[in-house]
Structure 1
């Protein structure tokens, strides 16, 4: 028996997204949780975590961003999806559907990586009561560490331009970095990470509505000491964009929690379930 309901999210531009709704296993007054995925990561990746949240009394929804997974319609090379579409169109529509299904006024936005980095361009940001950002940062190339720091320039400056030209999309799958990306997503990812501030680099260029300074809801970032992308410097770079929000950053050490690694992706794995209650303890 399925533990979730398949849902269709219709954006204001008519684009439809695929999502899953996990109904709480108990009567609840908790705000519903919207899980916004990382770049190139599909909704199924968050299944075990979403199921667990529903068992804790939360209504949960997760979805695929346009151009990714089941929200890709047609050949990838023909997708015009962009990261700014994810923030300006996809997240707002997902918020509204979740509120409609639960008859609540606000959601808790639990974003993984890019999914927790875009609230500043979400027009209905006022419907978000709190942000829990997992491995959320600006991903600025100068703040990266280890293998990722060495690989990022090659990916951004060589692999993405060449694969977009030849194949019509940003090749990431062969690097073990999730789904291949729509060409505009790959292009913006490279642009946003080339300077501090991530999406702020598009303000006044392709994005003309900036809500960063208007956001006052609490924002908490959970990051791991062995994360090569969401490093301390890059997490701080993200939180500085919200000058009027109450922000906090909580570092997790793999060794302190009995793990060899946590990194950028492992917090949602069933093997790391002992971290889940820590993540949810700050939900208000």
Structure 2
């Protein structure tokens, strides 16, 4: 693994890590992380996947993880979810340039499967594996979360963000520290029945509709945040992509628990990880299939 810093066209510095396979790469994978989750969380899986012959790139969105400049406070840090989509886009360009002509797949965890609908370089993507992702619309949250999310969106987020100049999630043990622009835009998305497309309007709907890469979405029966309904709502935003949803129960893998964050834990090395690698390998654009 090697660490790199990528400068985006608008001047943001993005920290990324690259795992090279020990043999000619069978494919190129960019892992898009969940909201508030550092790229460190995906390191074990990324290293394992490289061992299966894939070139793998992880990254932190601007203002998060290693992409927050040392000594820089998030107070007043300017970034929103459109900026994070530009970061994702720059990482895709960087990965594609390293292996031109080799299929490039996205592996999106939660938010990481939502933002590709906003990418301007979707034509470089051969397919996306969506993991525990769906619409964040609050009525489609898992039942336990839905009982408390009203307070989160209508009280905690606006008050804490206004007082601190960013969302102090680490202190509150909610999501993680996030730029104010990211959190407040995400709030608007989560309060709209059509999520990002409803909150942002026709231009964003067209961006999602422009995606033509195949999408395979994994939904987990014990996901504490996301429901099957929410997964289908996200998939439906990619209205012109070839989409498929797989519903997985822990018992299918002889596991007691998977949940929203479990797919990338090391106890899945002999369970879910080989299946995810197989599904990545099966993804191909319709014109290449």
Counterparts of 1:115-194 in structure 2, within 5 Å, are 115-194=112-191
Aligned to 1:84: 82
Superposed displacement of residue 155, structure 1: 1.6
The aligned counterpart of 2:232 is 236
Aligned to 2:59: 63
Contact 1:37/1:115 (<8 A) preserved:
yes
2:97 to 96, 100, 120: 100
Equivalent residue for 2:193?
A: 196
User: Which residue number corresponds to residue 17 of structure 1?
Assistant: 14
Which residue of 40, 47, 60 maps to 2:43? 47
Match of 1:279 in 2: 276
Query: Are residues 77 and 218 of structure 1, via their aligned partners in 2, closer, same or farther at CA, if it must alter by over 3 Å?
Result: same
Deviations along 1:63-107, whole A, 9 cap, x unmatched? Answer: 0011111111310112111112111x1111000111122234551
- The total of aligned residue pairs comes to 278
In 2, Cα distance between equivalents of 1:93 and 1:47: 20
| Residue in structure 2 matched with residue 267 of structure 1 by the alignment | 263
Equivalent residue in structure 1 for 2:248, among 252, 258, 262:
252
In 1, the alpha carbon distance for the partners of 2:101 and 2:2 equals 18
Where 1:76 maps in the other structure, the secondary structure is coil
Residue 110 of structure 1 aligns to a residue whose secondary structure is strand
Q: CA deviation at 1:240?
A: 0.9
Which whole-Å deviations, capped at 9, do the CAs of 1:225-272 have from their partners, x for residues lacking one?
A: 011332111011011112211101111101232222211111000022
The question of whether the paired residues in 2 share the 8 Å contact of 1:40 and 1:179 is answered with yes
Name the stretch that deviates more: 259-268 or 41-50.
Answer: 259-268
Give the secondary structure class of the aligned counterpart of 2:252.
helix
| C-alpha separation in 2, matches of 1:228 and 1:24 | 34
Conserved 8 A contact 1:171-1:180? yes
CA contact (8 A) 1:121 1:210 kept: no
Pairwise CA RMSD: 1.7
8 A Cα contact 1:46 1:268, kept in partner: yes
Contact 1:33 / 1:110 at 8 angstroms: preserved in 2? yes
Q: TM-score, normalised by structure 1?
A: 0.92
